[in-house]
Structure 1
Amino acid sequence: MDMGGGGHGMGGMAMAPPPSPPGAHGGMRMRMRYTHMTFFWGKDSEILFSGWPGARGGMYALALVAVFALAFLLEFLGSRGLDVALLPSAAAGGGRRVAAGAARAVVHALRVGVAYLLMLALMSFNGGVFLAAVAGHAAGFLAFRAGLFGDRRAQVEDDGKEQLVCC
C-alpha cells in the first residue's frame, strides 16, 4: 500500500532539505551571534538589548555608566534610611498605614526590578560591566549605608550585622 511517501510508510511526510550554507539566501548574510559563557574583556558586547550599546564611539562607556547607576540605585532602594522614612508613625491612622504599606511595596517592586535588570546586564559576561556594577554597589554603600551622606542611623543594623542586598 502506497501512502504517498514513495512506499516508505512515511504517511505523506517528506524529509526537510538540509540547511543552506551561509550566504545562499539571495545574497543576504545571516549574522551568527556568539554568547560568551566566560568573562571577556572588550567593548564589542550586547548588554540588556539586542544591538546595544553598538559599535558607535562612546556607547560602551554610556552602557557602563548605566550599569553603575543601576547598582547605585539598587543600594539606595535597599538603604535603611529609605525604609524608615516610609514607616508610619505610632499615632498614624489606618489610612496612613495602608498608604505607607503601599509605598513600601512599590519601593520593593522597584528594587527587585532593578536587581533583575542588573543581573541580566551581568549575564553579558563582560568584564567592564562587572567592574561597573561592583563600583556602583561600593559607591552606593558608601553613600547610603556607611554614613558618608545622610544620618548615621543607616550605618548599622539593629543587631550589628550588615544587611545583604542581593539580586
Structure 2
Amino acid sequence: MKPDQIPSADTSPLDGRQCLRLLAATRVGRVVYTVGALPAVLPTRYRLDADGSVLLSAAGGSELVKAVSGALVAFEAGEVSESDGSGWSVTVLGRADVTEAQPPHGTVLPRRPGQVSIRIRAELVTGRLLPEAGADPAVTAGSAGSGTQADLPSAAAVIDLGGREVEAVDPAG
C-alpha cells in the first residue's frame, strides 16, 4: 500500500453529552476486559441507564462475569458507514459491578433465566467523529452536512462523569 492510500486517523472529538446521546441511540457494543492479563473483546447488547452507566446481561457463571466483577473495563460502541467511512465511536471506562437485581433507575434490561446484570459505572467517556474518507474532519464536523455529523459541533471535551472536566480539546488546533 502506498503512503497516500493509508487511511487517515483524522477524527474530531465529541463532547460528553454527544457521546451519551449516541450511546443511548444504539443497542450493540463491545465490552473490553482482561483474561489472564490478555485483552478480550466481546460484542454484546446493552442499554444506557439514566445515570450514564452501561448495562449488560450475561450468564451468571460466564467467563465475562468472572473477569469483569469489580474490574476496570472499557466499553465501546459506534457506527461506521461502509459506503463512505463516516461515523462515530464512543468509549466508556469504568468499574463493572455484577448483580442479580434489575437496574434501579427503571431501565429495562432484557435477561434470560440464569443471567445477571453487569453495570459499568461510567468514570470517563470519550468519543470521536469519523469524517467521510478524504474529508477534512474540522470542516466535516462543523458543516451542515447530513445525518449525525450535522448534529455534532466540533468543539469537545473528555469528561469525567463525576462532574469535573478532565481535558478540553479544540480540534481546530
TM-score bracket for this pair, using the shorter chain length: under 0.3
Q: TM-score, normalised by structure 2?
A: 0.24
**Per residue, is there more helix in 1 or in 2?**
1
The structure richer in strand per residue is 2
| Structure with max Cα Rg | 1
